[in-house]
A and B are shown apart, each in its own frame.
Chain A
Amino acid sequence: MIITIDKKKISCEDGKSVLEVARDNKIDVPALCYHPDLKIKGNCRMCLIEIKGRPGLHTSCSIKAETGMQISTATPTINKARKINLELLFGQHRVECADCLLEHKCELLRLAKIYKVNINRFKNRKAKLKTYKFGPSIEFDSSKCIDCLNCIEVCKKQEVNFFEIKKIDNINRVLPTCDKNRDCIYCGQCITHCPVGAIEAVGEFEDSQKPLAPKNKTIVFQFAPSIRASIGEEFGLAAGSIVTDQLAAAIRALGVSKVFDVSLGADFTTVEEAKELVERLSQKKNLPMFTSCCPAWVKFIEFYYPEFIPNLTTVRSPHIISGGLIKTYWAEKENINPKDIYVISVMPCTAKKHEITRPQVRIKGLNPVDHVLTTRELAHLFKKNKINLANIKGEAADSPLGEHSGAGVIYGASGGVMESALRTAYTQICGSKLSKIDFKEVRGLQGFKKANIKIKDNIVKVAVVNGMFEAKILLEELKQNPQAYDYIEFMACTGGCIGGGGQPVPVNSKTREARAKGLYSIDTKKKIRVAHDNPALKEIYKSYLTDKHIIHKICHTTFNKKKREVKI
């Protein structure tokens, strides 16, 4: 179909909104409450257009393109209305740009320039409103909130409903709930869907420099599988660009001597989890087994569905295992007192900031990981130290804790944990050299995938879920039919960690797809693609993780039923 936008003839697909068509064709139509992941709400009234033959102004986000439509996106009336609406928005948004998640990407400031907005025309009616902290993970600065309601929808989709609308002095506001039956699971999806940086991870960015501060400590960085395919976006690279070696080099350029890759930790998680799966399958105990490497998912179970705690695998998440190994195995090897090691994990995730505070993961009173930086925080740190990731010369991460298999990398995408474990379990059950590596049926970004995997004479019924909306449906199904599945991977974020709450913004299905594709491309190119063949891992099992007791201490954990943690 053909429509005309600003006198330009454009051919477009059926079913797209005028806003989408305009954006596909690089026509700049401002839109603040629009997010491709979410429903159309039409709240911000910025995406205004005029349509020939239909009087008045319309919102392009809510109007589908129709053949022959003649559209203007920038008439004097439109521009005047946008300017006033922006001025009103600035009247409810505290400008704290120096320390904002959106830094140079701020849409409000960009538009303010274009429309010559007087950002002080209205006194900020929210100036005195407070900042709420959700556990060690999330910070909501209600003085920046423009009431677009994106977070309400996102958190509802996560089956948490932590944000609600409350009327105070005759005006509705977005606020965290006080309901003791609801608690934030720290997934950070609200952060990546807030158009104005009102929600951030704790520490963004005022504390980004903090991990470099400890004097007289050996500082060790380790970075998660998924961030190598996303952090490049902060430096102008396309989503999915792989920057593993540049990352290691850039971290060293910060003055850090040791850089490890969490993908090795992921290999340990895989091997332990595959063992546990095989054991549970043979004993038919606590099935289906649930993955537990997503701390937001774990919190969801501990708070909302404690009856399913026994189903969680007891295996620790990758960075907790590798953090533990750094403070034990590696510390011994290097002859460093573990107390003098400061481990920083760079994660796509805000829930990991909470995970490291779990008392159950301590080893001899020490936390395996001392600090978590989000992908965004690390990018900020690089920029602040004038390190350009895009053109730094790559270096390999440190070994032996730097080596990993292809399986360890795909952890970052939904289905990756499952596929890695299946690769290893397959061998364990079949006892032979592996004959199947790719389990393509569990890949892809849809919220729910299931497959029957034939391993020897058995059918293993697996499911992969991302997003808590789908997770809740599945849990309810399991209450009715506990035998529906044997093994289920759960990730709280859309698309898995590649869409994590600590990842660069903006994010949409295209970026997520590109990031996932990037990770799978690493896997395909790897010589070693199964976790149990990783030589570093084998070596550590042989020389250090030699008995059940120590394996348990470093690789396993426990869970417990939770009451609400977040205090408002």
Chain B
Amino acid sequence: MDILSKINKSNLCGRGGANFSVYLKWLAVKNATNTTKYVICNAAESELLVNKDGYILSKYPEAVVDGMFLAINFLKAKEGIIYLKPEYYKKLSKQLTKLIGNRPISLFKKTGSYLCGEETTLLNDIEGKRKEPRMRPPFPTISGLWDCPTLVNNVETFYYISKIANDNYNSTHFITIAGDTKNKGTFELPLNLSINNILKNTNNFPKFNFFVQINGGASGEFLIQDNLNKKLNGTGSIIIYNTKKTNKLKLLKKIVDYFHQENCDKCVPCREGVYRIHEMLKNKNINQEVIDDLLFTMKNTSFCALGKSVSTPLNSLMNIK
């Protein structure tokens, strides 16, 4: 069985947060007619408080590089690039370069921040363009880096691809647990565990009243204790908040500040919407009807996932009483 069939059988989904079928992505790049192709490993890891990709990269760099190399060979790609968050670059570049050896893989230190985790912004960054998302279609699988078909997979995805190639994949994923808890860290756990069980199995289930934010400290959703029976998919992370000790308004403000700083200001709903919410919080003049309208248009009409996702943390946090 070739690697693509194995991936298909495994049902592997991208671990960058979007959950897109890895099989379909590979297939699209494989079928793209342009003969120059690229493979990119996304190690931008820009979600706040998430460290699972960094963890994998420092613990299992061989597997990640092997996974990339499999893709390069399978797709007959010209080159592979590991797109690294500066901290990871600083910490791991020497080791990675050594590991890569004479394989056609190079390292790129990301120059921007949050939005560069988004794959088309990442491509613009490598090309030295303004760091903003690109129009889709064309999708990167057809027209990506330097307009060539490009496979962008996340660190964890490549890690599991090498596992799949060695028939060693057991439907697990990596989860960073952070926040108000003692046993913080990144854990590899079965995919089908509920959030409750993840917390219990890792010895992180708090004794106090708490709520969590899953799938990243910026765009992730907030959940109350009663809603933790679901599985975790997306950017694997759980951040625990002690209800009593957390100032929710402050937290809300922190998240909005972050988006205000990190969004690219390209499109009207996100640029203006985030600005308006930011102003309201700053001036302590909150009008729920206006916020609802803003989140509505951001969710429905933003250009990219950043703007679309702002309503997720905001609405869910505001709903926690």
Contact B303 A45 (CB under 8 A): yes
Q: Are A45 and B302 in contact (CB under 8 A)?
A: yes
A122 touches B276 (CB 8 A): yes
Q: A40–B135 contact, CB under 8 A?
A: yes
Q: With A45-B267, A170-B261, A171-B271 in contact, is A91–B294 under 8 Å at CB? A: no
Question: Are B276 and A88 touching (Cβ within 8 A)?
Answer: yes
Tell me the bound Cα distance from A45 to B301 in angstroms: 6
Which of B260, B266, B276 touches A91 (beta carbons < 8 Å)?
B276
- The residues of B that contact A89 with a CB separation of less than 8 Å are 268, 272
Q: Give chain A nearest CB distance to B275 CB in angstroms.
A: 6
Taking the complex as formed, is B187 at the interface, i.e. its CB lies under 8 A from any CB of chain A?
no
CB pair A147–B269 under 8 Å, yes or no, is: no
Write the chain B residue with the least CB distance to A92. Answer: B272
CB–CB B264/A85 < 8 A: no
- Tell me the bound Cα distance from A318 to B234 in angstroms: 67
Q: Chain A nearest CB: distance from B131 CB in Å?
A: 11
Q: Does A281 contact B (CB under 8 A)?
A: no
Q: Are B301 and A43 in contact (CB under 8 A)?
A: no
Partner of B301, one of A48, A147, A167: A48
Given contacts A125-B275, A147-B265, A170-B261, contact A43 B130 (CB under 8 A): no
Q: Which 6 A-B pairs have the closest CB atoms?
A: A88-B272, A172-B265, A84-B297, A45-B301, A81-B297, A81-B301
Contact A43 B300 (CB under 8 A): no
- Assess whether B268 is in contact with A45, with CB atoms less than 8 Å apart: yes
B262 CB to nearest chain A CB (Å): 9
Enumerate 29 A-B pairs (CB-CB under 8 Å) in ascending A order.
A40-B135, A42-B135, A42-B303, A43-B266, A43-B267, A44-B267, A45-B267, A45-B269, A45-B303, A46-B268, A56-B300, A57-B301, A80-B296, A80-B297, A81-B296, A81-B301, A84-B294, A84-B297, A85-B301, A88-B268, A88-B269, A88-B273, A88-B276, A88-B294, A89-B268, A91-B272, A149-B266, A170-B260, A172-B271
Residues of A within 8 A of B302 (CB): 45
Residue A27 at the B interface, CB < 8 A? Answer: no
Partner of A84, one of B266, B267, B275, B293: B293
Q: B282-321, CB under 8 A of A: which get 1 and which 0?
A: 0000000010011011001111000000000000000000
Return A32 CB to nearest CB of chain B, in Å: 9
The answer to whether B269 touches A85 (Cβ under 8 A) is yes
Specify the chain B residue showing the minimal Cβ separation from A39. B135
A165 engages B130 (CB within 8 Å):
yes
The answer to whether B268 touches A44, judged by C-beta atoms less than 8 angstroms apart, is: yes
A161 within 8 A of B: no
> In the complex the two chains form, is B268's CB within 8 Å of A85's CB?
yes
Q: Mark B107-137, 1 if CB is under 8 A from A, else 0.
A: 0000000000000000000000010000100
In the complex, the chain B residue whose C-beta lies closest to that of A146 is: B268
In the bound complex, CA of A99 to CA of B189 (Å): 65
- Cα A45 to Cα B302 in complex, Å, equals 7
Q: Which residue of A lies closest to B260 (CB)?
A: A170
Complex Cα distance A44/B130, Å? 18
User: Which of A41, A42, A146 has most chain B Cβ within 10 Å?
Assistant: A42
A77 on the B face (CB < 8 A)? yes
Contacts of B260 in A (CB 8 A): 170-171
Query: For residue A388, which residues in chain B have a CB less than 8 angstroms away from its CB?
Result: none
> Given the complex, which residues of B lie within 8 Å of A147, measured CB to CB?
265, 271
Chain A, interface SS category: loop
CA distance A535 to B265 in the complex (A): 60
Check: A62 CB closer than 8 A to any chain B CB.
Answer: yes
Q: A43-B267, A43-B303 are contacts. A85–B297 as well, Cβ < 8 Å?
A: yes
Give Cα A149–Cα B275 distance, bound, in whole angstroms: 19
Chain B residues whose CB sits within 8 angstroms of the CB of A84 once the complex forms:
269, 293-294, 296-297
Asked if B264 and A172 sit within 8 Å, CB to CB, the answer is: yes
Apart from A42-B303, A171-B275: 13 A-B pairs, beta carbons within 8 A: A40-B135, A41-B135, A42-B267, A44-B268, A45-B303, A81-B301, A85-B301, A88-B269, A88-B272, A88-B294, A122-B272, A122-B276, A171-B260
Q: Which residues of A contact B266 (CB under 8 A)?
A: 41, 43, 149
- Of all chain A residues, the one with the shortest Cβ separation from B279 is A125
Q: Mark A27-51, 1 if CB is under 8 A from B, else 0.
A: 0000000000000111111101000
* Minimal beta-carbon separation of B269 from chain A (angstroms): 6
| CB-defined contacts of B264 to chain A, threshold 8 Å | 172
Q: How far is the CB of A318 from chain B (nearest CB, A)?
A: 41
User: In the bound complex, how far is the Cα of B261 from the Cα of A77, in angstroms?
Assistant: 29
Beyond A42-B135, A84-B294, A170-B261, whether A77 also contacts B300 by CB under 8 A is yes
Q: What's the Cα separation between A114 and B132 when bound, in Å?
A: 32
In the assembled complex, the Cα of A46 lies from the Cα of B300 at a distance in Å of 12
Query: CB-CB < 8 A to B267: which residues of A?
Result: 42-45
Contacts of B261 in A (CB 8 A): 170
Q: Tell me, in angstroms, the Cα distance from A56 to B301 when the chains sit together.
A: 9
The smallest beta-carbon distance between A40 and chain B, in angstroms, is 6
B238 to chain A, nearest CB (A): 28
- Bound together, the chains give a CA A57 to CA B303 distance in angstroms of 11
Measured between beta carbons, the chain B residues less than 8 angstroms from A165 are 130, 265
Residues of A within 8 A of B130 (CB): 165
Report Cα–Cα, A201/B131, bound state, in Å.
Answer: 32
**Smallest Cβ distance from A141 to chain B, in angstroms?**
19
Which A residues lie within 8 Å of B272 (CB)?
88-89, 91-92, 122
Residue of A nearest to B130 (CB): A165
- Alpha-carbon separation in the docked complex, A456 to B274 (Å): 69
Interface membership of chain A positions 46-89, coded 1 if the CB is closer than 8 angstroms to chain B and 0 otherwise = 10100000001100001000000000000001001100110011
Separation of A536 and B175 alpha carbons in the complex (Å): 87
**A91 and B269 alpha carbons, distance in the complex (Å):** 12
Contacts of A122 in B (CB 8 A): 272, 276
Which residue of the partner chain A has the closest CB to B276? A122
Q: Which residue of B lies closest to A32 (CB)?
A: B268
- Bound complex: CA of A92 vs CA of B273, how far in Å? 12
Question: Please, which residue of chain B has its CB at the minimum distance from the CB of A91?
Answer: B272
Q: Which residues of B contact A149 (CB under 8 A)?
A: 266
Across the interface, name the chain B residue whose C-beta is closest to A90. B272
Whether A171 lies near B265 (C-beta < 8 A) is yes
**Bound: A170/B260 CA distance, A:** 7
Mask for A127-164, Cβ within 8 A of B = 1, else 0?
00000000000000000001101000000000000000
In the assembled complex, the Cα of A84 lies from the Cα of B296 at a distance in Å of: 9
A464 CA to B173 CA, complexed, in Å: 62
**Bound CA–CA A392/B302 (angstroms):** 50
- How far is the CB of A454 from the nearest CB of chain B, in Å? 42
B130, B268, B271, B273 — which one has the most chain A CB atoms within 10 A of its CB? B268
Contacts of B269 in A (CB 8 A): 45, 81, 84-85, 88
Min CB gap A125→B, angstroms: 7
Question: What residue in chain B is nearest A84 (Cβ atoms)?
Answer: B297
Contact of A62 with B135 at beta-carbon distance under 8 Å, contacts A45-B301, A45-B303 already known: yes
Please report the C-alpha to C-alpha distance between residue A346 and residue B39 in the assembled complex, in whole angstroms: 57
CA distance A121 to B276 in the complex (A): 11
